[in-house]
Amino acid sequence: MHKVAIVGRPNVGKSSLFNRLIGRREAVVADLPGVTRDAKEGLMLHQNHRITLIDTGGLWSGDEWEDAIRQKAEWAMEGAQAVIFVLDPREGLSAADYEVTDWLRRLGKPVIIAANKMDSPKHEVYMAELWGLGFGEPVAISAEHARGLDDLLDRVMEHLPEDTEDVPEIAPIRISLIGRPNVGKSSLLNAITQTDRAIVADQPGTTRDSLDVEWDYGGQRFVLVDTAGIRKKPDTAVEDYAIQRSQAAIGRSDLIWLVVNAGDLGDHELKLANLAYDSGKPVIVIVNKWDLVPDADLKATEKDLNQKLHHISYAPRVYTSAINEYGIHEMLAEAMKLHEKWQSRIPTSELNRWLGVWQMRQSVPNFHGKKLKMYFMTQVETAPPTFAIFCNRADFVTRAYEGFLQNRIREDLQLAGIPVRLKWNEKGPYKRGKNAENDD
């Protein structure tokens, strides 16, 4: 697979170009500098080429993130066969543009200048000084209006050999790391991949967009998604949009790592547990910074976890420390195990045999002398496992009894740690013409 990096100073439209080229809104875009900090990857297909496109943060920004952003951009350049240098000619070349130019010359990569915000041919008069940078003819584009993108890609293709790589047959497991700010999601990502892919700082809100990282463990491919920390009340519009992007990343994931700080649990963990619960995805609670909990406080911390995360009490826990890499392999091993269970299918004959056992083990609800009768059970979906139970009266099903059945399904059918959904379908003389559905 080929690799192309997009670079430039802040607020010239790099993320807008990235989104336009990959064909979807993956990167957060706003009319202020410094929104992108990490190097964000996306896959695009063009003329028999599979290209990993990398959006980088604004270089020579002059703020506290300048060095970290440049380090991530330098990582992005490793193995890149071409670089798209985005400029805004209408503003004229700045000192930062010349700094980026010198930096690119030292790296020795093929560079294509993308003169952005050229919304019409009359704006191209601003492009004259770009020739003086020494990277050849600039390409006039408008990321916002999709102008000039074919010309830009034609120039990029000049530097890429024909793509003969086979597409891997094993589909990756996509995992989102969610949690409130500063619980260590980015540190865990770096510890797993043994890189500094994500910027880590003590300041909350460092990660401002979801960051996808491909990783291989035990022959299984993963896409690990570091998301922006989810606050109760976002401080800025950019942060609010970043949180929306995090929630969208959860929807596209196969599994969730809910990262909590072992020594700093609050009511916000309940909200995150609900978010994970509602997703219907397998959840692993990652209790980070476990090494910092004093031995005398271990039992109290466990009790606090049980209370605040009771909505997802079925979810397994892994106790970790990103600093000393404790529990890192367990995170991946548990994810592989849960993903396999999430896609499992149980034979109908086995389900109905167990349905009879469960009815003998626990008395069914009884309303005014009328009992709930369950006639038949079958699995109707996987990922998550969803079961339909045919009964006489769906309104007789109590929350407690449904919880009992869900627990039995997990325990007796080897689905421990998996969210289970039940659908109740009425049949027989008491059928009321509609179904009742409850999820877990």
392 labelled ligand-binding: no
136 labelled ligand-binding: no
348 labelled ligand-binding: no
266 labelled ligand-binding: no
Tokens of 436: 């009742």
14 labelled ligand-binding: yes
Is residue 50 within 8 Å of residue 43, measured between CB atoms?
yes
229 labelled ligand-binding: yes
225 labelled ligand-binding: no
Strand partners, 218: none
Backbone angles phi, psi at 357, to 5 degrees: -65, -45
Strand partners, 367: 370
Cα of first residue to Cα of last residue in the chain, in angstroms, is 40
226 labelled ligand-binding: yes
117 labelled ligand-binding: yes
**Order of strands, sheet of 374-381, starting from the edge strand that comes earlier in the sequence:** 374-381, 386-391, 421-426, 436-438
187 labelled ligand-binding: no
Dihedral angle, C-alpha 332, 337, 339, 345, nearest 10 °: 180
Sign, Cα dihedral of 189, 203, 97, 151: positive
180 labelled ligand-binding: yes
Cα–Cα distance list, 253 to 41, 182, 256, 281, 387 (Å) = 16, 22, 7, 8, 22
285 labelled ligand-binding: no
182 labelled ligand-binding: yes
256 labelled ligand-binding: no
102 labelled ligand-binding: no
432 labelled ligand-binding: no
CA 376, CA 356: separation in Å to the nearest integer?
A: 10
110 labelled ligand-binding: no
157 labelled ligand-binding: no
Query: What's at 67, amino acid-wise?
Result: D
288 labelled ligand-binding: yes
267 labelled ligand-binding: no
48 labelled ligand-binding: no
219 labelled ligand-binding: no
407 labelled ligand-binding: no
Query: What's at 256, amino acid-wise?
Result: I
Three-state SS across 202-247?
CCCCCCCCCEEEEEEECCEEEEEEECCCCCCCCCCHHHHHHHHHHH
13 labelled ligand-binding: yes
438 labelled ligand-binding: no
184 labelled ligand-binding: yes
CA 433, CA 10: separation in Å to the nearest integer?
A: 60
Angle at 265 between CA 263 and CA 267, to 5 degrees: 170
164 labelled ligand-binding: no
57 labelled ligand-binding: yes
431 labelled ligand-binding: no
Cα–Cα distance list, 109 to 78, 129, 296 (Å) = 10, 21, 56
119 labelled ligand-binding: yes
Give the residue numbers of the binding site: 8-15, 55-59, 116-119, 179-186, 226-230, 288-291
Give the residue numbers of the binding site for GTP: 8-15, 55-59, 116-119, 179-186, 226-230, 288-291
